[in-house]
Amino acid sequence: MGRGFRYVARMSNTTSFGYLIPTARKVSPLRQRMIEDMTVRNFAPNTQQSYLGQVGLFARHFGKSPEQLGPEDIRTYQIYLAQERKVSVGTRIVAVSALRFLYAVTLKRDWTVPLIPGPKKDHRLPVILSPQEVLEVLQAAPSFPHHVIFSTMYGTGMRVSEAVHLRADNIDSQRMMIRIELSKGHKDRDVQLSPKLLELLRCYWRKVRPGEWMFPGQNPHQPLSREAVGDAVVQASRRAGLTKHTTPHSMRHAYAVHLLEAGTDIRKIQLLLGHRSLSTTARYLRLATTTVCATTSPLDLLPLPIVDPKS
């Protein structure tokens, strides 16, 4: 790794939401300044870790400090990511954002944005599970705690990062709501607590008796990791015999689309999902059967009998 951007750390401290914060034994001045620049701007811990990781990979690729690298090196690295590594567009967008921040904010280079172009984002529609497929995944969960966290994500539309950081005192059984604290965009929001989910959570509480976190990891003082939930969803999907690509976020997508198909107003769904823009929520209109299948195909209007070619 480039000598100007490295550190050796103990992962010991955490934020109030369980994110690991490195207690550094040795941090380069450049890395430390970038951490401070992100901290004063209140960047989320995940964003900070992603940016530091991407800048570290960039420095390691050239074996130099980013201070010694310029626009041509960045261009060479972008070609390397796209053509040789063939990393996803999403990963390349994060790398561009991290490098723009490093050079524009921390290193104060005035050429940053024009000379670090970002890739055009692919606009792919997510895969949607039917209610029956969701049921099959829930029933195929590897363990009861996994069944409960899957049900929580589907029943509330929580992101996996929100579900794993759920605490008992976030659950308000009197008002039948769950408070999600400082979610994406540093915003709190409330989601509904259905009677069935409340009953399931109470059963889980009696059986597991979790401590600080509703869904603790192997270390009871730390929440279950998002990666562990992802692995469990993949395992459940395989056990259920699904051929669709399924991730924890599939539960959130299914929640939104199934609410739309049930006639829920899209603005209410926007609030429940915590979307800043209605346009983000509106993409689910293109996935709901009530929208896509609401019209009659012109093929069905033709007086054309279906003939079996074998007959």
The DSSP string of 41-76 is TT--HHHHHHHHHHHHHHHHHHTS-GGG--HHHHHH
Q: Identify the helix (H) or strand (E) that includes residue 21.
A: strand 20-27
Cβ-based burial of 63 (10 A; exposed 0-12, middle 13-18, buried ≥19):
exposed
Q: Which of 92, 146, 159, 189 is catalytic?
A: 159
Cβ-based burial of 19 (10 A; exposed 0-12, middle 13-18, buried ≥19):
middle
Tokens of 187: 């915003």
Q: Which of 31, 146, 252, 253 is catalytic?
A: 252
Q: Which of 85, 167, 179, 184 is catalytic?
A: 184
The answer to whether residues 74 and 189 touch, using CB atoms and an 8 Å cutoff, is no
Q: Assess whether 275 carries a catalytic annotation.
A: yes
Residues 265-303: b if buried by 16+ CB within 10 A, e if exposed? eeeebbebbbbeeeeebeebeebbeeeeeeeeeeeeeee
Give 209's DSSP letter: -
Tokens of 99: 């490098």
Which residue type does 222 have? Q
Q: Assess whether 252 carries a catalytic annotation.
A: yes
Single out the residue of 27, 6, 20 nearest to residue 49, CA to CA: 20
- 23 bridge partner residues: 10
The length of the chain in residues reads: 311
Would you name the residues annotated as active-site residues?
159, 184, 249, 252, 275, 284
